[in-house]
Structure 1
Amino acid sequence: MESINKPASRKRDKTLVLFSYDWDAIEFDRLAPRWPQLKSGFDLFSFPSNARLAWFDIERFCTLAATRARLFGARGVVSNHEQFGALSAALLAEKAGWPGTPVEAVLACQHKLYAREVLERVAPEANVPYRRLDAEYGGDIPGGIAYPTFVKPVKAAFSVLAKNVRSHDDLHAHTRFGPWELWVIRHLVEPFERILRQRLPHAGTAHSLMLERPLRGGQYSLDGYFHDGQYHGIGIVDAIMYPGTDAFMRFDYPSRLPGPLRSKAEQVAVRFLKAVGFKHGLFNMEFIHDDETGEIKVIEFNPRMASQFSDLYARVDGIDLHEMALALGQGLDPAVLPVREPSAGCASSFVYRSFDPSAAIAMPGKRQLAAFHSLFGDALLFQFPKLPGQVQRDFKWLGSYRYGIMHLGGKDPHD
């Protein structure tokens, strides 16, 4: 497919890509002929790669990555990985003098309690009542909590352990962890905690859960980037839930959110991100249009691209978010990148889940996959088969088992 605008084509400097898998692995590999890359990191969801969690030290990782970058000639860094990648990329960019998101801005976005405190100062109308849960992991639940309430980790990813709870007993049951679960939780958070103590100590520990007032309303995701301190909007994606749950069923683009509310969401995002010193890089703001007040209410800020949406923007707008990330990693404004002819008027990311812990999920065989791809030649399909023990952990931490994701485009929502 030909580009609509064609700036001079040239091979770029090499970029260090951290913690790349799933969408990122596919998209960054596709761009490698034009954007040379050096890979580093590991997959948290695959054994034996994830065994490295046992001894992972984020500062040592960045020091070794910087050495590899010098040896192999990399001059930029990117990562869309929420747990370790975004912070590692910020630390490495700072260490090497490359373009990158400031370390303190990444910490402020990923420390969900501190982000609420900043939001209360700069956009209180977009905030919700919140508090730290004054209990250690697995500790006794204090009294005086108004139910229902929404509980989530101060530092987490992929909605792990985020849940609406309706009573003291419900919250108590949700926060019971076995020795292995406690080990995993602490090792996931501790790399962030070490940097937090050095660079943003007044935020308080990230080894904690927090409570928020539950919200009702349509959920959305604002995507954008900053270059040289200036905000650039990309778009808004609609999030559709499985009925009666907080679990994503699909994501639709373009959004049906009315224009004035889009502008309001952008204003809130810019005020917050400027307040935390976010001057460079892609970001994603999840928010709700609150049924009760009609206001935009922020769920959270993510200091990196929402990789799952990259394909949706490519189909509908002809823009390549992964190439935008590489451009920003080299200090370039993504506005200079080529735009391709769109292939669809709308696109969706369908998320397949099981809500029955005892259900046996059958993955499609070779014939089924061949038939699917013959009917939908440009579709994307990801499968996530897991062992029974892994499925049970998904139900504990996420409330469901996500076993597949499919992307399709069409002329319109009814196509």
Structure 2
Amino acid sequence: MHLKNPPHVNARFAETATLGGHIGLRPVALPARPARVLVLFGADWDGRLLPRYARSGRYRFHEHGFDLFRFPSNARLMWFDLWRFVDRMVERYRGRIDAVFSSNEQFGALAAALVAQRLGLPGADPACLLRAQHKYEARVRLREIAPELCPDFELIPYTITPEDARRLRYPLFVKPVKATFSVLARRCDTPADLIEHLRFHPWEKHIISRLIEPHNQALKRFPQFRVSSRHLLVEELLEGRQINVDGYVHGGRIHLLGMADELMYPGTMAFARFASPATVDAALHARLLGATERVLRGFGLVHGFFNLEFFVAADGCLKLIEINPRLAAQLAQVHDWVHGVDTYELGFAMALNRPLPAAQPPRFGAAASFVWRSFDGTSCPRMPSRDDLHWLARELPLARLELYPKRGASLQREIKWLGSHRWAVLNMPGRDEADLRTRYERVCARFGWPSSY
């Protein structure tokens, strides 16, 4: 394998790039008939993009699954059975689809791999994907293949006793063996902190059980994995900057999409923005690529997208936070704007076993995914009005805003489980970093929202 930049990744950006204009699809020859693509667990980031590809006449999408973070769709979690879902998709679509696609971390990527395998379509190896998603099994494999990248870790149950909590080394970082969106991931400074963090009401216990049950259902048919998802991982506390490495594996070769800085709210481990391109020098860039290649080869990931998160300590030491074997859909448009890569078109081509589309010259010098959060049990301070949204569409037509206001028990649960409440996300490009910041602060001023820059 050889990790390779797609064409134009390092090209200079056009001085005349502006934020106006329509996001056009890449020029691809129209096939004899639309490709039939099964999309599993598409959510907010897919929702606005997939219709554009459907309108091109090249694809016909069949969508199944539910949105884990929106009611009433997420009520289906209470009775969801992974294997029954896979069996139903296989029975319904055998001979009727050409590809399976998902960018969803919690259930979609695994379900897509299982369906593709059963239907003989291109897809990730389910066993390799399961190992990467299972944080304990992933740490065990990482310790074998690249021990210098692996933090010290230990497995604990959800119902840890005070005696067992006291024998751990503090401060520590705790996270579930299987979760998404950093649910229940938290720094704990004392045994009392850990015990309090893992104290749940009966309804919370039921939700947690349902969240991890599909992963456990999958593990039962893969005897090489002996640790259920009903555990947590405790790790040494890591400090330093975080860098996101996105790419894809195709035809035995590893390709880089781009790197982004993961910037936090001060004094927290909560993301404030993902900024692309990352500010890395040539030496660090090469080290990150080398580490990425070792990890992917060691995990046997040979098809599809990947998203790796690294810590870079003050002394330059690299540690792998986690490996996500799927497209980071929140950053898909960022790669298009800054690196000229249409990741959805690329993903469909890989799933269809077609020639991959060429990257285009990048249109912007910087882009970011901005995240607004509260830490005090409140939600969005002011929802944008219809006039505000019209202003955003007129002034910044490429900007994409997603709103996630919550209240009541669901808001309090999010504060407890995530340590904060993510109430809005804005993806936006700029001519350069300074221009991007100016545009972000214009949005903050118009909406009356706080700036985290």
Does the TM-score normalized on the shorter chain lie above 0.5?
yes
Cα distance in 2 for residues equivalent to 1:79 and 1:3: 22
Question: For the Cα contact (< 8 Å) 1:104–1:200, is it kept in 2?
Answer: no
Query: Does residue 322 in structure 1 map to residue 344 in structure 2?
Result: yes
Q: CA deviation at 1:385?
A: 1.7
Match of 2:323 in 1: 301
Cα distance in 1 for residues equivalent to 2:25 and 2:192: 58
1:149 aligns with one of 165, 168, 172: 172
Q: CA deviation at 1:369?
A: 1.7
2:278 aligns with one of 242, 255, 259: 255
Match of 2:182 in 1: 159
Note the 1:3-402 alignment, pairs <5 A.
6=27, 8-10=29-31, 11-32=33-54, 33-70=57-94, 73-133=96-156, 135-137=157-159, 140=162, 142=164, 143-291=166-314, 293-333=315-355, 336-358=356-378, 361-402=381-422
Question: For the Cα contact (< 8 Å) 1:193–1:206, is it kept in 2?
Answer: yes
Q: CA deviation at 1:190?
A: 1.2
Question: For the Cα contact (< 8 Å) 2:379–2:405, is it kept in 1?
Answer: no
Q: Secondary structure at the match of 1:86?
A: helix
Taking structure 1 as reference, are residues 374 and 274 closer, same or farther at Cα in structure 2, changes over 3 Å only? same
Taking structure 1 as reference, are residues 77 and 220 closer, same or farther at Cα in structure 2, changes over 3 Å only? same
Taking structure 1 as reference, are residues 140 and 195 closer, same or farther at Cα in structure 2, changes over 3 Å only? farther
Cα distance in 1 for residues equivalent to 2:295 and 2:379: 43
Q: Secondary structure at the match of 2:434?
A: coil
CA displacement 1:379-399 (0-9 Å, x = unmatched): 111111222221111100101
Which one is further off, 42-51 or 204-213?
Answer: 42-51
Question: For the Cα contact (< 8 Å) 1:221–1:286, is it kept in 2?
Answer: yes
Q: Secondary structure at the match of 2:94?
A: helix
Question: For the Cα contact (< 8 Å) 1:288–1:297, is it kept in 2?
Answer: yes
Question: For the Cα contact (< 8 Å) 1:138–1:176, is it kept in 2?
Answer: no
What letter matches 2:52 in structure 1? R
TM-score normalised according to structure 2 size = 0.86
What letter matches 2:293 in structure 1? V
Q: Secondary structure at the match of 1:246?
A: coil
Q: Provide structure 2 residue ranges, at least 5 long, that are not aligned to the other structure.
A: 1-21, 436-453
Which one is further off, 171-180 or 257-266?
Answer: 257-266
Q: CA deviation at 1:146?
A: 0.8
What letter matches 2:336 in structure 1? A
Which one is further off, 16-25 or 257-266?
Answer: 257-266
CA displacement 1:64-108 (0-9 Å, x = unmatched): 11222237x212101111110011011101110110000011111
Q: Provide structure 1 residue ranges, at least 5 long, that are not aligned to the other structure.
A: none
What letter matches 1:8 in structure 2? A
CA displacement 1:318-374 (0-9 Å, x = unmatched): 2111221111111235xx314445331110111011111146632111112222332
* Aligned residue-pair number: 410
Q: CA deviation at 1:180?
A: 0.8
